[in-house]
Structure 1
């Protein structure tokens, strides 16, 4: 699964893929455990083998706002912390039991020093993250909550039912009651 992820980029040799796979460790997290915590440093990236994660931040009045979900075959990191070395502005929490392949930043940095192809890989990942962020901003500005829910349902139908309603409502920027109405309309 993770080898296929690297193959899909079309830039790595089998030897390079084998080399990077040796640098990952397997980590299992239970439902509710954190991969990254808000205000703490995070220096690792994970490939999700199984499970679902939510990324969220806490408002000044103590509410947490879910802004992203991560599913199997996704990479995830607290990117601002990973890049700057500073505290994370987000938390990343397992919604269900999960299994990850995790690599430390210093190991990626060493790969970059040894082979420039890894710089290209990190550039592609950064570009993908930018496009995902841009898509999210446009969704929030151009689409209704019902359209955003329908998109999530279309793209992740096998996982959407595992996400608690209060996280989905937070992600969509609506109340749970409004989400219930949307779900009834879509399934009718």
Structure 2
């Protein structure tokens, strides 16, 4: 986490250490949840090791994976964290996962009042969430499933084999059968 935050050039060494002091280590076994739908999210996690997926269940009781988050990234049920309302999403470990977890109250009550850098960091993450969402929307509008799969392979090649086929297919917006056909045609 230290290296990730340092690379953003927002927090000082002392502020990064402060943040680390508010963290609690947590492990999730494969299949275990960080948060379940209809719960209020009051935590932010940094993924030290592992992969998390965010999904919701549609009206046909199908799980729709809309986000996969890899190590060295922060993760939370963002809209619930902001609004204090129950989340419609589930965040589940795809692999055994090691997290550093922060409580919202500690971040808001303790840190944001001490330095304007914390507000800058929050702004940075809000902007990144928006950019990621925009990138995903454009990807679905401009690219076919094969190209979305290739893009994912290029950015996260070592993780793709760890994601179950049905989650990866759902994330790409296709059936597992279609994904199998794409995988046969695409070699790296």
Same fold (TM over 0.5): yes
Match of 1:145 in 2: 145
CA shift, 1:154, in A, is 0.6
Match of 1:70 in 2: 69
SS at match of 1:46: strand
CA contact (8 A) 1:48 1:100 kept: yes
SS at match of 1:19: helix
User: Does residue 60 of structure 2 align to residue 52 of structure 1?
Assistant: no
- Once residues 174 and 12 of structure 1 are traced to their aligned partners in structure 2, the CA distance between those partners, rounded to angstroms, is 40
Match of 1:125 in 2: 125
Match of 1:179 in 2: 179
CA contact (8 A) 1:80 1:89 kept: no
Residues 96-147 of structure 1 deviation map (CA, whole Å, 9 limit, x = unaligned): 1000000000011021122221011000000001000000000111100000
CA shift, 1:12, in A, is 1.6
Residues 52-107 of structure 1 deviation map (CA, whole Å, 9 limit, x = unaligned): 11110010121110011000001100001000000012110001100000000001
CA shift, 1:173, in A, is 1.1
- Alignment TM-score, normalising by the size of structure 1: 0.97
Further displaced range: 109-118 or 156-165: 109-118
CA shift, 1:11, in A, is 2.0
CA shift, 1:17, in A, is 1.1
- Once residues 140 and 88 of structure 2 are traced to their aligned partners in structure 1, the CA distance between those partners, rounded to angstroms, is 20
SS at match of 2:162: coil
Question: What is the CA RMSD across the aligned residues, in angstroms?
Answer: 0.9
- Structure 2 gaps of 5+ residues are none
- Structure 1 gaps of 5+ residues are none
- Once residues 175 and 63 of structure 1 are traced to their aligned partners in structure 2, the CA distance between those partners, rounded to angstroms, is 12
Query: After TM superposition, which residue ranges in structure 1, 4 or more long, deviate above 3 angstroms?
Result: none
CA contact (8 A) 1:29 1:99 kept: yes
- Once residues 47 and 169 of structure 2 are traced to their aligned partners in structure 1, the CA distance between those partners, rounded to angstroms, is 23
CA contact (8 A) 1:50 1:100 kept: yes
